[in-house]
Structure 1
Amino acid sequence: MARIFAHRGMSAIAPENTLAAIGQCADYGVTWFEADVDIIADGTVVVIHDSHLDRTTNRTGSIYDLQASDLENIDTGSWFSQEFAGEGLPTLAQLVELMNEKKLNGNIEIKSNEQGTERTYQLIDAVIAELEKLDDDREVLISSFNQLLLAELKRRAPHLRLGVLFSKEALGYDWRSIVELVGADAIHVNEDGLTREMVQIARSAGVEINVWTVNSRARANELINWGVDGVITDEAHTFIELESGR
C-alpha cells in the first residue's frame, strides 16, 4: 500500500510548514507529512523551507540571524489568508510534540545548511536530539539533497531511516551506489520523467521509492499502480483514498 505524504503539511489549504498545516493532516486521515528544517543563530531547529523569511512570513532577511525569542513575532500565516494570521514560525520541538499528540508520522527534510561544516554538524545533532522525544509508536524518515549530511547523520544515529532526495537532473545510473554509501533506505525522486521501469529497478533493489511533488490525481494513481511506496503531494486532503486503493 502506497503512503500519501502531505507536502509541507496540508499546504493547499493552510500555510506551508506551519503547525496548522501539519495538524490538519489528522483531520483528513493523513498519517504522513513532509516538512523542512534548518537551524537559526542560537541553535534552535525551525520548520521552514527557505533560508530567507521573505516568501512565507511577514518579515525579511535570513533565518540564520534569528534567535528563538524572535519566533513569536513572526507571522507565517497572513500571506496565505487572514484565517491563519498570527500563525507562528514553528520549532522542531513543537513539531515533535504535535506528532505525538496527533499520532502523525513525518518525513523530515533537512535543508542543506548554507553556513558551513560546524553549523551543519550542529543542525544534525539538534535534529537527532529532538527526534529522540518522539513516542515509540511514531515513525520518521529523514531526507535531504545533501548526501554528505545524510551520511554523517547515519554515522551519528544509525537507527534513523534515511531517504536521498534526487532532482530530475541528478538521478543518474549511480543512484544505487549513492544510496548504499549513505546507508539510506529510500530514494525520493521528482515525478517528472519517472518511468515504470525505473520504479521496478528501485523496488527490485529493495529500495523504497517516494515521488515528489505529485498534484495530478491521475498521475498519482498511475505511480501507485506502478508500485511506488509513497506519493508526496500538496493535495493530500483529496488524495488520501488512493492510499488504500479505494
Structure 2
Amino acid sequence: MKTLFAHRGMSSLAPENTLAAFSLVKEHGLNWIECDVDVLADGTIVVCHDDSLDRCTDRTGSLYDLTREDLDDIDAGSWFGDAFIGEPIPTFDQLIALVNEHKLNINVEIKSCTAGQAMTEKLINGVIKGLENLHQDCDLLVSSFNPLALSEFKRKSPESAVACLFEKETLQSDWLSILQACGAEAIHLEDGSVTKERVIEMKDKGYMVNVYTVNSLSRANQLFNWGVDGVFTDIGQSFPSRYRPLL
C-alpha cells in the first residue's frame, strides 16, 4: 500500500497546520498527516511551518517572542476563508489529542530552529515529551532538514523512526553518510530531485523513500511506479480510492 501524507493537513481545504485541516483527514480517506513543529519562548511546542506569524496569521512577528497565553489572541484561519475566522495556532499537545481521537498516523517535522541551540534543545525535548501521549497504535515518523537536530532527537528517542529531509539543492552524494549518522529509516526528497535511478539506489540501500510536495496525480503515479513509498500532497481528496485506505 502506497502512502499519502496529508501535507500540513488537508491544506487545500482548510488553513495549513490547524486543527481544522487535520480534522478533515480521516473523512477524506487518508490515515497519515504531516505537520511542522517549533517552539515558543516559554517552551510550548506549537504546530507551525514558519518561525514568524506573518504568512498565515493576522499578526506579524517571531514565534520565539510568544508564550502559550499569546496564542489566544492570534487568528490563523481568516486568511484562508471566512469559515475559519478565529482558528488558532494549535499546540502540539492539542494535535496529539486529535491524532489519538481520529486514530491517525503522524509525520512530525522538527523545524530547523533559527533561535539558537538552547531553543533547539527545548524544541527536541518538548517534542519527545509530547509524543509520550501518542497512542501506541498510531505510527510515527519524525523528520527534519537539520541532521544535527535529527540525530540529537534520535539519540534521545532511539525507538522513534526518523527521516532525513533534503531539498533539491542540498541532496548531494554524501546523502548515505548523513542518513547513517542520523540513524534514519527513511529519506524525504523534494519532487524536483527525484529520478527513477535515485529511487532504486536508495531503496537498494534499505531506506523508505517519500517525496514532497506532489500535487499532480500523474506525477504521483509515476513516482509510485518507480518504487516510491509515499508522497506528501495538499490534494489528498483528489486521489483515487486505491490510495486512500479509509474509504
- Give the TM-score normalised by the residue count of structure 1: 0.97
Shift of 1:173: 1.4
Alpha-carbon offset, residue 194 of structure 1 = 1.1
Unpaired segments of 5 or more residues in structure 1? none
Aligned residue number for residue 105 of structure 1: 105
Distance 1:147 1:184 in 2: 10
Which consecutive residues of structure 2, in runs of 5 or more, have no partner in the other structure?
none
Which residue number in structure 1 is paired with residue 148 of structure 2?
Answer: 148
SS at match of 2:88: coil
Letter in 1 for 2:195: T
CA distance in 1, matches of 2:185, 2:161: 6
Give, as a single letter, the amino acid of the residue that structure 2 aligns with 1:178: I
- 1:20-71 C-alpha deviation (Å, 9 max, x unpaired): 0011001111100111000001100000000110100011110111110111
Deviation, 1:119, is 1.1
Partner of 1:24: 24
In the alignment, residue 83 of structure 2 is paired with which amino acid? E
Q: Secondary structure at the match of 1:163?
A: strand
- Does structure 1 retain, via aligned residues, the 8 Å contact 2:29–2:244? no
Task: Give the structure 1 partner of residue 129 of structure 2.
Answer: 129
- Give the conservation status (yes or no) of the 8 Å contact 1:17–1:47: yes
Q: Where does 1:168-207 land on structure 2 (aligned, <5 Å)?
A: 168-207=168-207
The alpha-carbon deviation at position 221 of structure 1 amounts to: 0.6
Q: Is the 8 A contact 1:4 1:231 kept in 2?
A: yes
Q: Deviations over 1:191-244 (max 9, x none)?
A: 114111111111111101000000111000110111111100111111253526
Alpha-carbon contact 1:46-1:92 (below 8 Å) kept: yes
Distance 2:240 2:141 in 1: 19
How many residue pairs align between the two structures?
Answer: 246
Show structure 1 runs of 4+ deviating over 3 A.
none
Q: What residue number does 2:115 align with?
A: 115
- If the length of structure 2 is used for normalisation, what is the TM-score? 0.97
